[in-house]
Structure 1
Amino acid sequence: MAMFAALVLLSGLVVPSSGHLYTDSIRPSFAASYTIFIDNGGAFLQSPNAAFRAAISNNPNQQLPQFYFSVIHSSSDTIIWTANRDEPISDSAGLLLTPTGLVITDDMDRTIWSTPSLESPVAFLQLDDSGNLVLLDRGNVSLWESFDYPTDTLVMKQRLPVGVDFSAGEYRLLVTAFDAVLQWNGMTYWRLSMDDRAFVDSNAPAAFMSVNGSGLYLFGHNGSTVVFMVTLSPVDATGSDFVFAKLGSNGKFTVSSFHGKELVQILQLPAEDCRIPSICGTIGLCDRDKTCSCPSGFHNRIDDGCVPIDPSFTLPKACNASNSYGDKTSDHVSYMKIGDAVDYFSIDFVEPLSRQIDISNCQLLCSQNCSCLGVLYGNSSGSCYPIRNNVGSIFSSIFGLGQEYFSGYIKTMSQSSNVDLSSKTGVGRKFSVTGLVLLSSSGGFVLIAIVVGILWWRRRKGHSGAAVVRLGSKNSFSAEIDLLSIAGLPVKFEYEELATATDNFGMQIGSGGFGAVYKGVLPNESVVAVKKITNLGVQGKKDFCTEIAIIGNIHHVNLVKLKGFCLEGKQRFLVLEYMNKGSLDRVMFDSESSVLEWKERLEIAIGTARALAYLHSGCQHKIIHCDVKPENILLHVGENLNQNLQVKMSDFGISKLISPEQSNLLTTLRGTRGYLAPEWLTSSGISDKSDVFSYGMVLLEIVRGRRNFTIQLQSNGSDHSPLSAPKLQRLYFPLLALEMHEQKRYMELLDPRLEGRAKSEEVERLVRVALCCLQMEPFRRPTMSNVVRMLEGSLPAGWPRIESLNFLRYYGSSYAEAVTTSTDGCNGLSEFILDSDHPLDNC
């Protein structure tokens, strides 16, 4: 308390008398702590209708005296938002309101939490009647709102946008364009669409989720189109003045209403407790009466869930750089049976490792992958489903949606090579390909015959399931097992099929850094784009297939869909959906193409932003594109002229897949000159903010309709005489955009071919968003999720810091010099100078 009091005195902050509860607003300078406002239970500000209060208080669900800055619904004592939920403070630690924002400090004067950099000084802090905590400037313009930073609770009048983090402990709710999914440690265990009361109302993509007394809704970008909803009974929330949705740290997503003096839960997802991944702990069995027990051969250990009774067996952890195992380890893999007629949450959301396989080979596939910690084997179909990365609870098949009964096996490790595993595992034991083949000559031939039969069956099925390899060498069986162990591989095409489809690769429609692209027509008459990969960093068939499997499972309306692949020898191809309008650079920069209207440009800008937002924060694996440019933005228009323009990003999957922990380690120079962020050129850490910079460059090109750097001919003579020597005029458009922004002359940046056919406020919005994306320091650039919101108008467009853009003044001149002298720039520049029909605008 002494440290906080000293800081207050030094900074001139005002400490109000104890017990004074503000209603209207609070002005800087202001200081608060639980001790100061102890008479009010730590509350220092309430909404005008007294429904909500802002307080520094102890969470009543915790025994330790740990304090948080929260917004609380007063009547029900429900916490709807917390600033420092992961870093509690003491009762004497403080909250400070200054002209730069809100700051929470601990007893050592270290910053625990603060609002981000704001566009102008703070004049007021208010708590409105909906529970939204708002910082305002002198003009009553919102600078920051707690509703824009949700934690684990969604209240009425609040929006949860697509891709925004909404989490509690190991659990997360993710709103997508067409659904909302619940995830545990990154693995999906429930979708909103699985509820009996859910239905789709529109095919439009969703922009946000909201809740009220009649249900949960996904709304479109106009804020009124209902895309998807889960209806609630009208009597559930009739007369309630407070309805909220909450994701608990127990994995339950609930909707509750407050009637009089009672909180009533009116919806729970999943409806069955046993479908919550950790409801009974590791390997805990959730029975039909919702009681938890351990399978036979296991016992409960505090904090560890169920573990083997035999101490010589241990449960492995998912692989990483330090604990991955292989043939050189002394541990021996075995499998303990955890039950028959059991189910697991992930089966409904992942592809099996393989189908039509026996249990021995199912376990073999798992043994060769250290991320696989167990399997569920379909007794009737022969499907082999993995338990990956984290082992949750299992449950009785009585709760399953399908008719398949599964037997569950969990992987264990033993230090002894002489243990009789058959007595412990039933059918489980340590397998190897060599051992299987050498069991007996007849057994070996039978096994090979089974595999050949599986391959023949898959070929007859027409490229379904996992990848197929030819049995042409002594390693072919091992290769088949390796590829089968990669879940989620799309259709595998043979080289001859693609050669036929593309007229022997004679219909080239494009080229890029990874190879040429050909148009192809498959036997079913579907048109595809076949991309030949000639410059890929991934080495080895299995590494290539692993990345392909991940790409194939990424689905978004603004991302080009991967339909299949080809892998034969050194030949590698991707089979992608065909986009009939080609890439944005051809449509926008080609002088012979019709002019893109402003509405189409907005659609392209927003669609591209949504794609990047999904790659960065919407899919299970964070993906940094690394090469955002018009050439990788593809367009499609249906045969019906009334069909909307489709905008899709390509080449996203070939970029380096990285985890959040690795994102600042990627420094290899890639991308395209003119779109590279400054950190590429300084060998600094690369992050998703590098994509944001590139997007900002593309956004300016969309506004102008030309490349950001152009070279034009300009005559020296005022009479335009043929004798006047032409000279080059270089224009670096980002610098011009900065200068026009400083003068608020945004319409002068618009493509002159549009002849003013655009709303000035929309042009201003795009230019300001683009400049925010171009700020030199990555942390100052917005996330792509916020870019989407700013472009759509649900979030005010930011004001870029001029000092963070001053680098454009020399960055542009350096780039101009590089382009005009480099062979990578406009080849044959002198020929263009002599030809007046070519203004050098497409360099």
Structure 2
Amino acid sequence: MELRGFFPFMMSICLSIVLLSEKSVANIPVIGSIYSVFEGSQINWLDYGGMFLLSNNSNFSFGFSSTKEELALFSLSIIHVHSAIVVWTANRGFGVRDYDKFVFDKTGNVYLEKEGGIAWSPHTAGKGVTSIKLQDSGNLVLLGNDSRVLWQSFSYPTDTLLSNQLFFEGMRLVSEPNSNNLSSYLEMKSGDAILYGGFQTPQPYWSMANEYRKVITKEDGPVTSASLISNSWSFFDHNQNLILEFILSDDFSFDVTWAAVLGDDGFISFYSLHNGDQSNAVTMKIPQNECSTPEPCDPYYHCEFLTKKKCYCPLELSNHWIGSPCDGSKSSIQLLNMGDKLDYFALEFVSPYANCDLKGCRDACVSNCSCLMLFFENNSGNCFLFDEIGSFQLRNGTSKFISCIKLPSDAGQRLNPAKKESNSQNHLRIVMIATTIFLLASCLLFLGYWFHQRNKRMLQFFEDVMGKDNFSCQDDDIQVENFLEILSRNPNRYSYKDLQTATNNFSVKLGQGGFGSVYKGMLPDGTQIAVKKLEGTNQGKREFRT
């Protein structure tokens, strides 16, 4: 009997140990590699910041991290542990909840769930993936039976490049969108590295070919790839021969991990990750000029950089509101001449729309509904049309371009965005003041009406009791006297002679009031009284009677 009870008891203990062991394994990050039949959500690794896979050197981690848009949403990311820089993201723009799972099933399929659907997948189903490894370089690789790489994160960068990560034609970096929802892009095109703003028609603003800080090591051959090696960003031809370098630091070391991050401001910033300090960005950025990106300021604003960047609205636009001429408006169009003081970041990189005179350039913009602005180069006759506009650069001298902005003909009666916002605030303030005055006036009118109705009801009561004819023709004193006569339980009333006798001709004064003196007296029945003698005021008489 005791033996039969002992075995179930031991079985339950063993089962509890197994379950606890499985739980602890699921909640502790794995070092190096994970294998098929692995799954979990952010909440399973909550104590480890959502990370479930570490590189062997523990410099990089892979797992769930909060998105910038909302802390309650998560991305599947690779993070440099010491600096907390996110170097790669799987489901960018498609955040998942803390209960959505990362799954590596027995068929080798890898994916991230999102409320029953799929937020991200490398599409490796049926390719024989047996393990996922986070390399010491920060590269996440999916391996087959023969350790062959079937997929790697280095081939699908987001906004960051790491040391020894090859960047070649067909790949691109995409920044997070800025406050105006504009992203910047880095691509390898036509033998050159190009940065451009993600407008409807892309607008370049930097190229390695035009970068004067580069060091050329070989003159011939187009650039086909680039990589962060040692202390430089190196560019190679199709045979992997070094063509040029962009030197990042005087510290020549192969042990340093570098990160090139394309920020939402449009700049590529370089970080040395060996010391784990994210704020230790190299002072060298791409591009160098603070006003050379698409939107260092808001669209249509001037950007000026002397000791620091300054943004301000052009005086020519201070009384205008800028809108699209393709918005269905039937108003006619005018071109506002902005003079020859403006420059624009994309003019150095884009091809002209036409070669003509200034009138032909103006006519081309007016007749093209998508054209918002033109730049005309006097020397060459080149005409540049733009369907979207970022920030302007202000030249200290004169620019070689004449610029015009397209406006509706009634734009002078409108406001630019800055004034529109200010005017909206003033309008709101006026509405609030007017509403307050209206409410106060309404309250005063209501109180006046209420007092009028109360007096009217009291007057009606007097008329009902005493008769309208008798009441209306009497003066105030007679009305009150008559009213006191008809009230039930009216107070005892004494003649002046009775009070004069009771107070011994008002001989013992007790005090002085606001409307007369108070005297001590005694009634015939022995009751002591205080008598207030009014001294020539009608208000006092009323107070005495009430």
Query: Pairwise CA RMSD of aligned residues?
Result: 2.8
Seen in structure 2, the aligned counterparts of structure 1 residues 133 and 184 have a Cα distance that, compared at 3 Å, is same
Select the residue among 26, 48, 66 that pairs with 1:58. Answer: 66
Select the residue among 386, 389, 401 that pairs with 2:387. Answer: 389
Select the residue among 306, 314, 317 that pairs with 1:295. Answer: 314
Seen in structure 2, the aligned counterparts of structure 1 residues 177 and 252 have a Cα distance that, compared at 3 Å, is same
| Map 1:622-661 → 2, pairs under 5 A | none
1:28 and 2:41 aligned: no
1:213 and 2:221 aligned: no
- Counterpart secondary structure, 2:291: helix
Counterpart CA distance in 2 for 1:140 and 1:354 is 56
User: What is the identity, as a one-letter code, of the residue corresponding to 1:40?
Assistant: Y
- Counterpart secondary structure, 1:166: strand
| Larger proportion of strand | 2
- Counterpart secondary structure, 1:275: coil
Counterpart CA distance in 2 for 1:65 and 1:337 is 49
| Map 1:58-457 → 2, pairs under 5 A | 58-59=66-67, 61-62=68-69, 64-98=71-105, 99-106=107-114, 108-117=115-124, 120-168=127-175, 169=177, 170-185=183-198, 186-200=202-216, 201-223=218-240, 225-235=241-251, 241-263=256-278, 264-266=280-282, 267-289=284-306, 290-298=309-317, 309-310=319-320, 313-316=321-324, 330-338=330-338, 340-355=340-355, 357-358=357-358, 360-378=359-377, 380-381=378-379, 383=381, 385-398=383-396, 404-414=399-409
Seen in structure 2, the aligned counterparts of structure 1 residues 385 and 256 have a Cα distance that, compared at 3 Å, is farther
User: What is the identity, as a one-letter code, of the residue corresponding to 1:413?
Assistant: P
User: What is the identity, as a one-letter code, of the residue corresponding to 2:313?
Assistant: C
Counterpart CA distance in 2 for 1:356 and 1:122 is 60
- C-alpha deviation, 1:348, in angstroms: 0.6
Counterpart CA distance in 1 for 2:96 and 2:277 is 30
Seen in structure 2, the aligned counterparts of structure 1 residues 149 and 16 have a Cα distance that, compared at 3 Å, is farther
Please give the per-residue CA displacement for 1:287-332, whole angstroms capped at 9, x wherever unaligned.
1231111111446xxxxxxxxx34xx54216x6xxx5x8xxx7321
2:503 is aligned to none
Q: TM-score, normalised by structure 1?
A: 0.42
| Map 1:511-590 → 2, pairs under 5 A | none
Contact 1:84–1:112 (8 Å) recurs in 2? yes
- C-alpha deviation, 1:387, in angstroms: 4.1
Contact 2:340–2:399 (8 Å) recurs in 1? no
- Counterpart secondary structure, 2:103: strand
- Counterpart secondary structure, 1:347: helix
Percent identity over paired residues:
27
- Counterpart secondary structure, 2:373: strand
Query: Greater RCO between the two (CA within 8 Å, min separation 6)?
Result: 2
Contact 1:71–1:81 (8 Å) recurs in 2? yes
Counterpart CA distance in 1 for 2:344 and 2:184 is 17
Counterpart CA distance in 1 for 2:391 and 2:311 is 9
Please give the per-residue CA displacement for 1:489-520, whole angstroms capped at 9, x wherever unaligned.
xxxxxxxxxxxxxxxxxxxxxxxxxxxxxxxx
User: What is the identity, as a one-letter code, of the residue corresponding to 2:186?
Assistant: L
Please give the per-residue CA displacement for 1:811-839, whole angstroms capped at 9, x wherever unaligned.
xxxxxxxxxxxxxxxxxxxxxxxxxxxxx
Counterpart CA distance in 2 for 1:297 and 1:202 is 46
Counterpart CA distance in 2 for 1:173 and 1:56 is 26
Contact 2:290–2:305 (8 Å) recurs in 1? no
Could you list the runs of 5+ residues in structure 1 that have no partner in the other structure? 1-13, 300-308, 425-843
- Counterpart secondary structure, 1:229: strand
Contact 2:195–2:205 (8 Å) recurs in 1? yes
Please give the per-residue CA displacement for 1:760-819, whole angstroms capped at 9, x wherever unaligned.
xxxxxxxxxxxxxxxxxxxxxxxxxxxxxxxxxxxxxxxxxxxxxxxxxxxxxxxxxxxx
Counterpart CA distance in 2 for 1:356 and 1:133 is 54
| Map 1:458-469 → 2, pairs under 5 A | none
Contact 1:18–1:39 (8 Å) recurs in 2? no
1:562 is aligned to none
Counterpart CA distance in 2 for 1:387 and 1:288 is 26
User: What is the identity, as a one-letter code, of the residue corresponding to 2:365?
Assistant: C
- Counterpart secondary structure, 1:117: coil
User: What is the identity, as a one-letter code, of the residue corresponding to 1:295?
Assistant: P
Seen in structure 2, the aligned counterparts of structure 1 residues 139 and 351 have a Cα distance that, compared at 3 Å, is closer
Counterpart CA distance in 2 for 1:15 and 1:145 is 29
1:459 is aligned to none
User: What is the identity, as a one-letter code, of the residue corresponding to 2:270?
Assistant: V
Contact 1:33–1:95 (8 Å) recurs in 2? yes
- C-alpha deviation, 1:240, in angstroms: 6.2
Contact 1:41–1:57 (8 Å) recurs in 2? yes
- C-alpha deviation, 1:159, in angstroms: 0.8
Counterpart CA distance in 2 for 1:338 and 1:404 is 11
Seen in structure 2, the aligned counterparts of structure 1 residues 15 and 26 have a Cα distance that, compared at 3 Å, is farther
1:751 is aligned to none
2:436 is aligned to none
- Counterpart secondary structure, 2:362: helix
Seen in structure 2, the aligned counterparts of structure 1 residues 155 and 330 have a Cα distance that, compared at 3 Å, is same
Counterpart CA distance in 2 for 1:408 and 1:221 is 41
Select the residue among 48, 51, 71 that pairs with 1:40. Answer: 48
Counterpart CA distance in 1 for 2:276 and 2:56 is 20
Please give the per-residue CA displacement for 1:43-81, whole angstroms capped at 9, x wherever unaligned.
10000001100010114x445422100001111111111
Counterpart CA distance in 2 for 1:118 and 1:54 is 21
Seen in structure 2, the aligned counterparts of structure 1 residues 115 and 139 have a Cα distance that, compared at 3 Å, is same
Aligned residues: 379
- C-alpha deviation, 1:252, in angstroms: 0.9
Counterpart CA distance in 1 for 2:169 and 2:160 is 15
Counterpart CA distance in 1 for 2:25 and 2:338 is 62
Seen in structure 2, the aligned counterparts of structure 1 residues 15 and 396 have a Cα distance that, compared at 3 Å, is farther
Seen in structure 2, the aligned counterparts of structure 1 residues 337 and 135 have a Cα distance that, compared at 3 Å, is same
| Map 1:1-12 → 2, pairs under 5 A | none
Counterpart CA distance in 2 for 1:78 and 1:340 is 43
Seen in structure 2, the aligned counterparts of structure 1 residues 147 and 181 have a Cα distance that, compared at 3 Å, is same
Counterpart CA distance in 1 for 2:77 and 2:144 is 22
Contact 2:362–2:374 (8 Å) recurs in 1? yes
Please give the per-residue CA displacement for 1:246-282, whole angstroms capped at 9, x wherever unaligned.
2112211222213524233223111112110111121
User: What is the identity, as a one-letter code, of the residue corresponding to 2:344?
Assistant: Y
Counterpart CA distance in 1 for 2:389 and 2:46 is 44
- Counterpart secondary structure, 2:194: strand
2:425 is aligned to none
Counterpart CA distance in 1 for 2:219 and 2:239 is 13
- C-alpha deviation, 1:144, in angstroms: 1.1
Counterpart CA distance in 1 for 2:395 and 2:29 is 55
Please give the per-residue CA displacement for 1:180-211, whole angstroms capped at 9, x wherever unaligned.
00111222111012222224424233332111
Contact 1:195–1:230 (8 Å) recurs in 2? no
- Counterpart secondary structure, 1:111: strand
User: What is the identity, as a one-letter code, of the residue corresponding to 2:364?
Assistant: L
Counterpart CA distance in 2 for 1:420 and 1:75 is 56
